[in-house]
Structure 1
Amino acid sequence: MIHKDTEFETQWEQWADAAEERSAKSFRNIDRIVERNQAKVIRAFQKHRVSDFHFSGSTGYGYNDSGRETLDRVYADVFGAEAAIVRPHLVSGTHTISAALFGVLRPGDELLFVTGRPYDTLNKVIGKTGDGLGSLSDWGVVCKIVPLRADGSVDWPAVEAAITDRTKVFAIQRSRGYDWRPSFTIGQIGIMAGRLKSLKPDGIVFADNCYGEFTEELEPAEVGVDLIAGSLIKNPGGGLATSGGYIAGKQRLVELASFRMTAPGIGGEVGAMLGTTRSIFQGLFLAPLLVGQAVKGSVFASAVFDRFGFETHPLPEDRRTDLIQAVRFPGAEQLVCFVQAVQKAAAVDAHVVPEPWDMPGYDHPVIMAAGTFIQGGSLELSADAPVREPYIAYMQGGLTYAHVKFAVKQALSDFRARGFL
């Protein structure tokens, strides 16, 4: 017979009700965004006459794969771009971003990150001169990083001072990464794009769109960004895409990125989809709804942990532009306990206990909870954290709102058992 802590169960219901009452206005706004994005996706499917024969797989070179070609056009429309390439062969967000940047940059060009230090896994892509890894720096591309101001805003005087005749690409990271700052909204990104174009009209504005797709009604390419990239095992894959990435934007820039993805002169004209087309289409169809479920879960988690005095960012009432919910803990023990609780609440690999480890691409030990159906699928509920001060866990995803609630409840139960509450 399973013993239940009736006192905790009663308290949990009260805490959850209070959190949902506090979050009600945010939930209504999320529902509106879901409905409008769902309509946008359906209209794109209808415009390009998506049919069941488009779901057939291709092999070998994949010449004349009408499903792949239609998928590219649908993605371009959904993301407000001239063109797009969507492929299962892009193995991660980092690979996809790398293909986009290598596609448009040449030796002697400068790449300028205007939103501060990029996500940790891009460090090796940027690299160092002579590192022998084939990084951007190794190929003679100069990479500059302009730190954000203390309030998380772009340091425009420093950006202007960093621009030279050789500056080719301006890079924007939409999501916060491992930083305690607001992520950048579509409105803010549009302002950035306009200002960067005024400073250097021939510059290319690139945005890493990971974690942000469908959290707002517009996407970066609709507000002046020239090129965007993201991962299919995050938002746009809808929990069904088993791998892949997308690049979208101006026709010529997407073409150049496709030459890096495959080979010069070949680009997006080939690439067998190997049976993945149906899941990528269906995942895109489901993505607006499932992103909404994940965002609601983040709002709920923020409300609950804020109630108990933990710093949360964003707060439940704040505007959302990505999936990520940051929670700051007083020490490493609470941080690790939280991440382990998220794993314990999973449907897959719940019996596994994550521990911090030296993960490739990161500068500190990292602990990750990822009890997911798709390995690394961060539209599914996951949490990770570099184990360093100030001890911040980053939770994202949740294919169902109920799953996120279940995980938050598990975390509070474990905190109670360990004397952290």
Structure 2
Amino acid sequence: MDFAQLDKLAAEVELEVQPVYREIEARALLNHARVLEGFHLARVSDYHLRGSTGYGYNDAGREALEKIYAHVFGAEAALVRSQIVSGTHAIAIALYGLLRPGDELLAVQGSPYDTLEEIIGKRGNAPGSLKDLGVTYQQVELTDRGTLDWAAIERALTPRTKVVLVQRSRGYAWRPSLTLAELTRLADFIKSRVPQAIVFVDNCYGELVDTTEPTAVGADLVAGSLIKNPGGGIAPTGGYIAGRRELVEMAANRWTAPGIGAEVGPSLGHQRLLMQGIFMAPHTVAEALKGAVFAARLFERLGFQVSPAYDEPRSDIIQSIALTSPQRLLAFCRGIQAASPVDAHALPEPDYMPGYQDDVVMAAGTFVQGASLELTADAPLREPYAVYLQGGLSKEYVRLGVIKAAWNVLQVK
């Protein structure tokens, strides 16, 4: 296939996926209405866009932003701070806030995302892991089809189960992401057997993909990153935790100190960007989803296995493509990098990354370092050599990047 034929195929795919685009736009409209309603309920004014310094006491803009997040997530309260440096950091804050020595953490989808393994103490010997602090851990594997094993989950639940960790996205695993319908059933299932158990969701990559959030359908707490979906491609850093008020307070006490909690934390010069980010998020997430749909169908037409298929329901913005060889994987990532607005001349190479078990290759020519919503592609170097594509500030940008990546892949013999 020459480049002209690839470009013609891309045009055919663009027409083919239009019905899926319309479905995404309908959900984005509902989400945007919910976000706008949150701004109105918080009575956002010009002065809310200004930052605070020092301790950040009585920061009205920060309080308004957290009211917006609570409304958007169907939660009682939220902690939204630029001092939270990543989704992993937000999840760690929540876990350390909720768990005490002798408590048990249960993961119900097999091993959690790579960067959480050392926090838990499942891998490595990092001082201060949950294991080091006396928290026990067990996990239930998924079925061979990548679905929840309900019988095994029931056997694993005991009165000692304090927190059940649920991961909404697929992470670096070749499996379906968890739908909100499945999550609702899971939360009900857990509560019916261990009512006191806390259902905590790693919500990274899933925000505003559906028309509601896990905390509105049974989860007790969620956490995620602002340089993914809810930052709208505008937030320069930050993370959030949302859910039941007393649980958010426990996390806030861990984030700062007991007795201080969420009362401090200056918003500095980030306040307008975080406000504008959540306002733009429904549209930007929709653009990323359209890009994922386009990528899925293009690579299906090129003969590659993809997950999810272009017309399957989605619960996150991640598109997995099985490239079957490390050479194709590297070629794909280099194509995405070459199509980026920033550092397009850089050549991604696999290397060690803190928190990951395998060498990882990452393509991310982003305005904000590592901002997954802008357009990134990354993968651990392990079979089936699947690349995980996420983001895209516009579907046009994703199309350009994906065509470049596809051309690179087709050149690998």
1:132 Cα shift? Answer: 5.7
Q: Secondary structure at the match of 2:69?
A: helix
CA separation in 2, counterparts of 1:290 and 1:308?
27
CA separation in 1, counterparts of 2:299 and 2:121?
38
Aligned partner of 2:390 in structure 1 is 396
Aligned partner of 1:75 in structure 2 is 69
CA separation in 1, counterparts of 2:36 and 2:308?
30
Q: 1:79 to 1:119 in 2, by over 3 A?
A: same
Check if 1:356 corresponds to 2:350: yes
> How many pairs are equivalent?
413
1:406 to 373, 377, 400: 400
Aligned partner of 2:30 in structure 1 is 36
Aligned partner of 1:187 in structure 2 is 181
1:156 to 133, 150, 155: 150
AA of the residue aligned to 2:247? L
2:191 to 188, 192, 197: 197
CA separation in 2, counterparts of 1:274 and 1:126?
32
Contact 1:128 1:135 in 2 (8 A): no
Aligned partner of 1:342 in structure 2 is 336
Moved more, 288-297 or 148-157: 148-157
Contact 2:119 2:129 in 1 (8 A): yes
- 1:8-407 aligned at under 5 Å gives the runs 8=2, 10-127=4-121, 131=125, 133-407=127-401
Q: Secondary structure at the match of 2:371?
A: coil
CA separation in 2, counterparts of 1:63 and 1:246?
19
Q: 1:336 to 1:13 in 2, by over 3 A?
A: closer
CA separation in 2, counterparts of 1:343 and 1:49?
41
AA of the residue aligned to 1:281? M
1:130 Cα shift? Answer: 11
Contact 2:158 2:194 in 1 (8 A): no
Cα-Cα RMSD: 1.4
CA separation in 2, counterparts of 1:313 and 1:205?
26
Contact 1:130 1:137 in 2 (8 A): no
CA separation in 1, counterparts of 2:226 and 2:126?
30
CA separation in 2, counterparts of 1:12 and 1:25?
22
- After superposition, the C-alpha distances for 1:132-174 in whole angstroms (9 at most, x for unaligned) are 6111111100111111111111112211211222110111100
Structure 2 runs not aligned, ≥5 long: none
- After superposition, the C-alpha distances for 1:168-197 in whole angstroms (9 at most, x for unaligned) are 011110000111111011111111111110
Contact 1:211 1:322 in 2 (8 A): yes
CA separation in 2, counterparts of 1:130 and 1:140?
16
1:10 Cα shift? Answer: 3.5
Contact 2:327 2:412 in 1 (8 A): no
Moved more, 129-138 or 19-28: 129-138
CA separation in 1, counterparts of 2:219 and 2:182?
12
Q: Secondary structure at the match of 2:25?
A: helix
CA separation in 1, counterparts of 2:318 and 2:123?
33
Contact 1:22 1:316 in 2 (8 A): no
AA of the residue aligned to 2:192? S
Q: Secondary structure at the match of 1:218?
A: coil
- After superposition, the C-alpha distances for 1:224-270 in whole angstroms (9 at most, x for unaligned) are 10000010000000111111100000000000000011111100000
Instruction: Give TM-score, length-normalised by structure 1.
Output: 0.96
Moved more, 84-93 or 160-169: 160-169
Q: Secondary structure at the match of 1:373?
A: coil
Structure 1 runs not aligned, ≥5 long: 1-6
AA of the residue aligned to 2:357? D
Contact 2:118 2:125 in 1 (8 A): no
Instruction: Give TM-score, length-normalised by structure 2.
Output: 0.98
Identity %: 52
Q: Secondary structure at the match of 2:373?
A: coil
Contact 1:354 1:367 in 2 (8 A): yes
CA separation in 2, counterparts of 1:13 and 1:127?
48
CA separation in 2, counterparts of 1:16 and 1:130?
44
CA separation in 1, counterparts of 2:41 and 2:394?
29
Q: Secondary structure at the match of 1:380?
A: helix
Contact 2:117 2:123 in 1 (8 A): no
- After superposition, the C-alpha distances for 1:271-296 in whole angstroms (9 at most, x for unaligned) are 01111110000000000000000000
Contact 2:164 2:197 in 1 (8 A): yes
Contact 1:125 1:136 in 2 (8 A): yes
Q: Secondary structure at the match of 2:374?
A: coil
1:213 Cα shift? Answer: 0.4
CA separation in 2, counterparts of 1:412 and 1:210?
26
